[in-house]
Every structure is written in C-alpha cells, then in structure tokens.
Homo-oligomer: A and B are copies of this chain.
Amino acid sequence: MKLRDVGEDRLLEQLLAKLRAGPGIVLGPGDDCALVDSGKRGLLDVLKTDCLVEGIHFAKSTAPELVGWKAMARPLSDFAAMSAVPQFALVTLIVPSDRELSWVKRLYRGIEKAARRFDVSVVGGETSDIGGPAVVSLSITGFVEKKRWVGRGGGQAGDDLFVTGRLGGTLRGQHLRFIPRIAESRWLTENFPVHAMMDLSDGLGTDLPRLARASGLGFEVDEAALPRNRGCTITQAISDGEDYELLFAISPKNSLSLLSRWPKEFPRFPLTRIGRLNRKSKIENRKFPQGYVHFQKR
C-alpha cells in the first residue's frame, strides 16, 4: 500500500497509535499543538512543528519572502488555535546547493518579519543540501496558562460555532500573507469560556468534522451564513482551505455578548456564527463536502 492511498489523518493515527503516554504530556498528537507540563507554576509548554515543501505548499516561482512569512505564520496559527503564546523558533532550511544565496536570504527575511511581528525569537537553525525541492520547517515553543488552553475536544452539544474573518479563495494569494489570529484568540479566552477551537488550515469541510469528532459530536452549518471572500461560492468557502481563520465553539448563552463586544475590540474584522454542535450521528455529516486532503488523489 502506498502513502497516497492512506491520507494524512489515518497515517498519523497509525504511526502514533502505539506511542506511550509519557510523564508530563497534557495533550499529545492529534490537536493543533502539543502541551506538556514541565514544572512552571500555572503554565504549560506548547510545542508545534510545521513544514512547507516546494512544489506542494509553494511554487518555485513564489517570492521567497512570502514563503518565509508563511513558514512562520502557519505554526503560529496553530498557537492561536490553542490560545497559546509563541516565544522561540528553530528554523530548518533544506535547499539544493545550486540555489542562489539571495533566494535563501530573501526567504529568511520573510521568516524574520513574521518573527518580529509576533515577538518570536529565532534561537537556532539547521541547514542541509537536498537533491530535490526546497523544504522550510519551523519548530516553535511557547506557553499557555493551564486554565486557558483550548483544544478541539471540549465542544458541547448545543454550542454555537463561530469563524473569524472570511473563507474561500485564499489560493489567489492570501494564503501567503495571512495573519495568525493570536491577538483575537487571546482576547477570546480572556473574556469567554471557549469550549473548543482550531485554525482552518485544510478548509471548513475537513476541519469542522475534525473538531466535531474530537468532541464526540455532530454539527450543523447554515451554509448561507458562511462569511465568504469576494467572488467565492459557498463550496469554495467550505473546500478551498488555507483560510487560517479560527473556528470555535462557545455556549449559546455567551453568543450575544460575544457578538456585541467583538466589533469594539476588532473593528471591521468579521466574526460570524455559522452553526452549532449537536448530537446527530456522524453519518449525516458525511454530506459536507471535503476540504483539502494531503497525500490523497484529488
């Protein structure tokens, strides 16, 4: 059996199934970041790694500054998903030796720009040659308050589902320039009990079922209510992927308060109630079209 016949979720499930639950692991593989308790009072360490591969996640012709920005912004979006604060980054650059030095320097400029914007310090790096496409990998560590982290699995039946920003069409360029929603996420957990949260990297059609499954629930979505980028169909808003907006679940008793306070904190940045979590069987939710699936034939 080839990898392409398996799919990323099932591959990781199979690989990680036999791992021991070691001491100090609060949240292991399967959520946006890993959480470990390493003895800081009231805080957990947050760990995340992410990679971009030339020819898969970006084109050789893509401006390298934008590749660098995205390489840093993607794992930072996972920090936003947990309501965590990033601090330190390790940068791995795997680049063929016939690549121009200027390409690598421009890539690094994009990484630094994102690091400055989100107050992350690059503390180490690794480089290697490759007889193939370039790879950029970022590993980020940081912290989150023990009482404040949000996973995918805490959703409750009846919770309202919200998304930040607008969905769809990001492959026209926005996926290289997106802003991790760390400020929004930290504000949310400072002011409301958020039951479950994730960032939309593979598209609502793939990611919402993941959140619902992690919470042991079904979901319903008011497709007409989905906030769409200009010129996007509902199907594109569901399936395009790479939105990097937040999807989260809160009790409906907090929804009105949230909707009234949000615009004062984040003017002109939309927050939309798109549906709710429910007890329906998973089978009914299969009708929801799928987003981007790694490894699988499209």
* Residues of chain A whose beta carbon lies under 8 Å from any beta carbon of chain B: 1-6, 8, 11-12, 14-16, 18-25, 28-29, 33-34, 36, 38-40, 43, 45, 47-51, 53, 55-57, 87-88, 90-102, 104-105, 108, 112, 116, 119, 121-133, 135, 137, 139, 141, 143, 294-295
Contacts and interface: CB of A to CB of B under 8 A. Distances in A.
B45 A1 contact: no
A29 B121 CA distance: 11
Contact of A15 (B18, B125, B130): B125
B133 A48 contact: no
A53 B135 CA distance: 10
A20 B15 CA distance: 38
A105 B19 contact: no
Given A19-B112, A25-B121, A124-B33, A1 B101 contact: yes
Contact of A105 (B15, B121, B139): B15
Query: What are the 5 tightest A-B residue pairs by CB atom distance, in nearest-first order?
Result: A132-B132, A22-B121, A4-B97, A139-B139, A34-B123
B38 A87 contact: yes
Contacts of A121: 19-25, 28, 36
Nearest to A31: B124
